[in-house]
């Protein structure tokens, strides 16, 4: 799907990757370099927790993206009338005791388990980025109690 969208946007995946890298520089993502549209492993594709947090801060200002990153469950209906329920893969969005209000998950062989969480505590929001985890939800649950009050 990502390659199809890239081709629609830029004519080819390669041109889309050029556009992604240009945009990363404009956004100040100094340690990010894209090599493909899908985000799948590539030795030439890199980023850092700092850059991912900066990108999250930017995209959370876009209401449509913020809504999708914070919606635990949604329903969609196909053109043929079939309704399907979709569940957010960030499991901490599903618990009422969690202070996680939005997030994104990802896992690849090279990156391990990754987790981006937008956390709200006492009216303030924090971005927590976990990369190369073996237990992203366990790691996140260890971080949540030590956020500033």
> What are 52-69's pLDDT values in tens digits?
999 999 999 999 999 999
Question: pLDDT tier at 144 (50, 70, 90 boundaries)?
Answer: confident
Its pTM stands at 0.88
| Averaged pLDDT, 79-101 | 91
**Which residue is it, tokens 């987790």?**
115
> Other CB atoms closer than 10 Å to residue 2's CB: what's the count?
13
Q: Is the dihedral of CA 24, 27, 28, 29 positive or negative?
A: negative
Per DSSP bridges, beta strands 100-108 and 124-133 are unpaired
Question: pLDDT tier at 31 (50, 70, 90 boundaries)?
Answer: very high
pLDDT score of 71 more than 70: yes
| 73's tokens | 């469950």
Query: With pLDDT > 90 as the criterion, what percentage of the chain qualifies?
Result: 89
- Any residues with CB less than 8 A from the CB of 80 and at least 6 apart, and which? none
Distance CA 33, CA 20 (A): 9
| 98-142 pLDDT, tens digit each | 899 999 999 999 999 999 999 998 899 999 999 999 999 999 999
Distance CA 89, CA 94 (A): 9
Distance CA 126, CA 16 (A): 30
Q: Is the dihedral of CA 136, 138, 139, 140 positive or negative?
A: positive
What is the Cα gyration radius of the chain? 17
């Amino acid at each position: 799907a990502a390659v199809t969208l890239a081709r629609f946007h830029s004519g080819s995946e390669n041109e889309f990757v050029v556009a992604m890298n240009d945009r990363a520089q404009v956004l100040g993502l100094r340690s990010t370099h894209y090599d493909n549209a899908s985000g799948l492993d590539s030795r030439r594709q890199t980023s850092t927790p700092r850059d991912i947090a900066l990108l999250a801060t930017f995209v959370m200002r876009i209401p449509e993206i913020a809504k999708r990153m914070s919606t635990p469950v949604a329903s969609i209906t196909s053109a043929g009338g079939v309704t399907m329920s979709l569940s957010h893969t960030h499991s901490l969005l599903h618990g009422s005791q969690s202070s996680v209000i939005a997030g994104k998950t990802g896992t690849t062989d090279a990156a391990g388990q990754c987790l981006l969480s937008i956390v709200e505590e006492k009216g303030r929001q924090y971005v927590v980025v976990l990369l190369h985890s073996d237990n992203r939800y366990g790691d996140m649950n260890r971080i949540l109690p030590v956020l500033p009050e």
